[in-house]
Amino acid sequence: MRSRVLSGMRPTGALHLGHYHGALKNWVRLQDEYDCFYFVADWHALTTHYEETGVIEQNVYDMVIDWLAAGLDPEKSTIFIQSRLPEHAELFTLLAMGTPLGWLERVPTYKDQIEKLKDRDLATYGFLGYPLLQAADILIYKAAWVPVGEDQASHVELTREVARRFNHLYGRAANFEAQTKAALAKLPKDDARYFERQRKAFGETGSAEALAKGEAIVAKAAAQLEGWTEADGELLLGHLKGSGKSILTEPQALHTEVAKLPGLDGAKMSKSYGNAVLMRDEPEVVAKKIRGMATDPARVRRTDPGEPEKCPVWQFHKVYSDEATRDWVQQGCRSAGIGCLDCKQPVVDAIVREQQPWRERAAAYTANPKQVHWIVEMGTERARTVARQTMKDVRAAMGLAY
Ligand code: TRP
Ligand code: SF4
């Protein structure tokens, strides 16, 4: 069986080239190798934009059309919408019971986003809890891999801790307790006490140092103690890390080399910054946007030489141009042999060429919105089968299967 990949995107409406090169292109590639689940994280949009509900539906379908346009194939990938699966909310609620507040307060994106989105009131319960909702999104499908950008790596890490804690609290074999106690009793008294202190520290704070200190005690016992067995070591390591029987699967972040495409002004591409080229922009619009791009400020006149490294257009060449074209840019820019408009033309051509199949596929879907709804409906039902099974296991483990 192919291992499962899961990822989600907030519904921000029609996608831009930054979304494509940063994530979507990779999603398309993954669907040939993995059992891919891709969903619209519409509840996540509400964690920051809870007042703007009027645009959600349109944004959801515009985004799904761009997914399909880019080549996500509903025959290969399961495409669905988070809010159609209340199971995500149920798992979120159950996980919330045992998740320490500190784990959420310490997620780096929490303070970052509050700083960044100063104009919004993000002192909400939903915003603090959103990485835990993300954990539920991932764990409910027992995903092995989560393709996310650097900025989301800490959320996958939190997900792993949440899964570990869940398995520890609710997944222990019947005699795990007694066996662990027996292994602990073999340790010298001081070591046992020290070990328990490290375990507690690791469980509460996730401190890598505490984990290493605990592991060192086990290693020492294995090297020095009479009558110590490998099984004793495994038990104590499981005890230390809080892993019992595995009900929820610890996922791993899947980092793939992706081409970084900045916005027209060199900053991060974002619709709200007004520096984006949309996947479905018409060719004339693409040409106009690229021709209007800022260039190396040192090139005031056509005869002034420039430096590609100081020019956002060069970043586009790095994504879109072959080596010969890139050489032509470097040479021509530094010697003032080419003008900036000459330099931009191959980028315009490459983007328009890239967009061609997207435009064709998107046209078919926009002409037939029912088909898009139907694709999402199919995916949602497929996802529901998996989510329901996980919730059965979770309820049973927590004594809620009455
Ligand atoms: N938090 C992600 C974002 O803002 C979207 C997301 C929600 C997600 N749930 C997820 C991504 C689960 C990967 C896995 O981009
Ligand atoms: Fe930028 Fe190209 Fe102009 Fe050089 S020639 S400044 S790389 S647009």
158 and 42: one domain? Answer: yes
353 and 222: one domain? Answer: no
pLDDT at 230: 79
pLDDT at 339: 96
Q: pLDDT band at residue 242, thresholds of 50, 70 and 90?
A: confident
pLDDT tens-digit readout, 77-127: 999 999 999 999 999 999 999 999 999 999 998 888 888 888 888 889 999
139 and 198: one domain? Answer: no
383 and 357: one domain? Answer: no
146 and 11: one domain? Answer: yes
Question: What is the number of structural domains in the chain?
Answer: 3
User: For residue 127, which ligand has an atom nearest its CA?
Assistant: 1
In whole angstroms, what is the distance from residue 299 CA to residue 295 CA? Answer: 7
pTM for the whole structure = 0.83
CA of 309 to the centre of ligand 2 (A): 9
113 and 208: one domain? Answer: no
Ligand 2 binding site (Cβ under 6 Å of any ligand atom): 295-296, 299, 306, 308, 311, 313-314, 329, 333, 338, 340, 343-344
Q: 68 versus 122: which is more confidently predicted?
A: 68
CA of 173 to the centre of ligand 1 (A): 33
Asked whether residue 231 carries a pLDDT value surpassing 80, the answer given is no
pLDDT at 174: 55
78 within 8 A of 122, measured Cβ to Cβ: no
User: What percent of the chain is predicted at pLDDT more than 90?
Assistant: 78
Half-sphere exposure of 331 (CA within 13 A, CB side): 6
150 and 49: one domain? Answer: yes
Q: pLDDT band at residue 244, thresholds of 50, 70 and 90?
A: low
pLDDT at 175: 66
State the average pLDDT for the chain: 93
Q: 149 versus 314: which is more confidently predicted?
A: 314
41 and 142: one domain? Answer: yes
pLDDT at 243: 63
Residue of 4, 148, 154 to mutate, ligand 1, most atoms within 8 A of C-beta: 148
pLDDT at 25: 96
254 and 381: one domain? Answer: yes
Least confident among 173-187, 301-315, 354-368: 173-187
Three-class HEC string of the chain = CCCEEEEEECCCCCCEHHHHHHHHHHHHHHCCCCEEEEEECHHHHHHHCCCCCCCHHHHHHHHHHHHHHHCCCCCCCEEEEHHHCCHHHHHHHHHHHHCCHHHHHCCHHHHHHHHHCCCCCCCCHHHHHHHHHHHHHHHCCCCCEECCCHHHHHHHHHHHHHHHHHHHHHCCCCCHHHHHHHHHHHCCHHHHHHHHHHHHHHHHHCCHHHHHHHHHHHHHHHHHCCCCCHHHHHHHHHHHHCCCCCCCCCCEECCCCCCCCECCCCCECCHHHCCCCECCCCHHHHHHHHHCCCCCCCCCCCCCCCCHHHCHHHHHHHHHCCHHHHHHHHHHHHCCCCCHHHHHHHHHHHHHHHHHHHHHHHHHHHCCHHHHHHHHHHHHHHHHHHHHHHHHHHHHHCCCCC
User: For residue 134, which ligand has an atom nearest its CA?
Assistant: 1
Least confident among 154-158, 268-272, 386-390: 268-272
Q: Bridge partners of 186?
A: none
Pick the residue whose CA is nearest to atom 3 on ligand 2.
340
Mean pLDDT confidence for 15-20 = 96
pLDDT tens-digit readout, 140-182: 999 999 998 888 999 999 999 999 999 888 976 556 777 888 9
* Radius of gyration of the chain measured on its C-alpha atoms: 26
pLDDT tens-digit readout, 187-229: 999 999 999 999 999 988 888 899 999 999 999 999 999 889 8
135 and 205: one domain? Answer: no
Asked whether residue 7 carries a pLDDT value surpassing 60, the answer given is yes
Q: pLDDT band at residue 28, thresholds of 50, 70 and 90?
A: very high
Question: Does residue 266 lie within any of the structural domains?
Answer: no
In whole angstroms, what is the distance from residue 290 CA to residue 268 CA? Answer: 16
Mean pLDDT confidence for 42-71 = 94
Question: Does residue 273 lie within any of the structural domains?
Answer: no
Which domain range does residue 116 map to?
A: 4-169+249-260+368-397
63 and 124: one domain? Answer: yes
